[in-house]
Amino acid sequence: MSSDRVEVIAPATIANLGPGFDVFGIALKEPYDVIGARRVSEPGVMVVEVVGVGANRVTLEAKRNTASVAAAEVLRKANVDFGLELSLRKGVRPCSGMGSSGASAAGGAFAANLLLDKPLPMSDLAMCAAKGEQASSGTLHADNVAPSLYGGFTIIRSYHPLDVVHVVPPANLGIVAALPDVMVSTKEARGLLPKSVEMRKLVHTVGHASSLAVGMSLGDVPLIGRSVSDVIVEPVRAPLVPHLKEAEEAALKAGAVASFLGGSGPCVASFFDLSLSDGKAIGEAVRHVFESKGVKVEVWVDGWGKGCRRV
């Protein structure tokens, strides 16, 4: 360990990507959280400050804050007797469907790990971060924390044991993330999930999920576009996001290869080919849908991003 203090960037992520509920996720370049950690002799993890976008919705209570729960898991697993003070600068708005709690959890775990004399492997960090995420959403899901840690595209092959498959997406895969001024809590959105799934929907989902993974690893953006289809989760959550369908249609018309609900929403995410389509035009088309209905919206247009890293 070279210092007793670190600051890390933890990127926003989009989970599910159509057919990959709780399985697929991709990291964005922006926005991101910045997590500061300071090693202290007193055991335990404290959150000393949360500032930034939607900071008032983030608890300082260490047992419920995703970053501190994740960091405490890292210290517990590493069996060390020191503690940490964390400070969070939120760039990813809570209740956005852009992995806000996941970014803080990933950043908390990553920062704590940098302060260990013997750091844990990334595979251990993913489980620590997923436990942090659980503190916020109520259930353990790793499809946001994994891409925030690893960057690029990730697949949760298994939860028991946790096994993350990391894939570098095509360089020409562009992403538009549009965040309307609507709040969706992941906990509530998970409450809408069906308890069972019809066989024909399962067949549809396995086909599309497999093809999407192949499209990511072969660098086939049109195949990725054809593979983003969700007949199970998005249909039950769509009522939480006014104008979702119009926004998706506008993105497709403007050149996106796919447009879908980001995570549990309300983010509307779109994929496009950076070399063939104009991401700004896609973003503006989605913006127009929301703003013409009087809903404010923030839009990010970029390629996919890297994972957690030291500032």
CB-wise, 16 or 113, nearer to ligand HSE?
16
Shortest distance, position 13 Cβ to ligand HSE, whole Å: 8
Residue 185: partners with Cβ closer than 8 Å, 6 or more residues away: 95, 264
The answer to whether the CB of 99 falls within 8 A of the CB of 13 is: yes
Among candidate residues 85, 133, 234, 248, the one labeled active-site is 133
Stretch that binds ligand HSE, among 68-76, 141-149, 203-211, 282-290 (CB under 6 A): 141-149
Q: Does 100 bind ligand HSE (CB under 6 A)?
A: no
59 is known as an active-site residue: no
Cβ proximity to ligand HSE: between 6 and 10 the closer is 10
Only one of the segments 14-22, 85-93, 175-183, 275-283 lies at the binding site for ligand HSE (rule: CB under 6 A); that segment is 14-22
Which one among 18, 19, 97, 266 touches ligand HSE, defined by CB under 6 A? 97
Q: Does 26 bind ligand HSE (CB under 6 A)?
A: no
The residue count for binding ligand HSE (CB under 6 A) is: 14
Nearest to 305 by CA among 42, 106, 22: 106
The window from 45-53, 71-79, 139-147, 199-207 that contacts ligand HSE (CB under 6 A) reads 139-147
Q: Distance between CA 85 and CA 38 in Å, rounded?
A: 5
Q: Does residue 15 interact with ligand HSE by CB under 6 A?
A: yes
Tell me the closest approach of the beta carbon of residue 95 to ligand HSE, in angstroms. Answer: 10
Residue 148 found at the interface with ligand HSE (CB under 6 A)? no
Among 104, 134, 144, 227, binds ligand HSE (CB under 6 A): 144
Question: Position 95: which residue type?
Answer: C
Contact in structure between 267 and 191 (CB atoms under 8 Å): no
Least distance from C-beta 131 to ligand HSE, angstroms?
A: 15
Residue listed under structure tokens 């503190």:
135
User: At closest approach, how far in Å is the CB of 104 from ligand HSE?
Assistant: 13
**Cα–Cα dist 49/30, whole Å:** 22
Cα torsion 272, 273, 276, 280: sign: positive
Tell me if 103 sits within 8 A of 12, measured CB to CB. Answer: yes
Give the C-alpha distances (Å, rounded to integers) separating 262 from 135, 156, 270. 21, 17, 9
Per DSSP (E only), the strands in 151-201 are 153-159, 162-167, 173-180
Name the residue nearer to ligand HSE (CB basis): 36 or 151.
Answer: 151
Asked if 16 is part of the footprint of ligand HSE (rule: CB under 6 A), the reply reads: yes
C-alpha distances in angstroms, 110 versus 4, 91, 133, 264, 283? 14, 17, 14, 24, 32
Which H or E element spans position 211? helix 199-218
Question: Residue 58 in 3-state DSSP?
Answer: coil
What phi and psi values does residue 33 have, to the nearest 5 degrees?
Answer: -95, 155
Known active-site residue 73? no
Cβ-based nearer residue to ligand HSE, 206 or 218? 206
| Region binding ligand HSE by CB under 6 A among candidate stretches 15-23, 86-94, 198-206, 246-254 | 15-23
> How many residues comprise the chain?
311
Residues of span 183-242 touching ligand HSE by CB under 6 A: 186, 189-190
Least separation in angstroms between CB 221 and ligand HSE: 23
CA distance 27 to 150: 8
Using rule CB under 6 A, residue 263 touches ligand HSE: yes
From the list 186, 205, 234, 248, the catalytic residue is 186
Pairing of strands 309-310, 5-16: antiparallel
Closer residue to ligand HSE in complex, CB, 39/237: 237
Catalytic residues: 133, 186
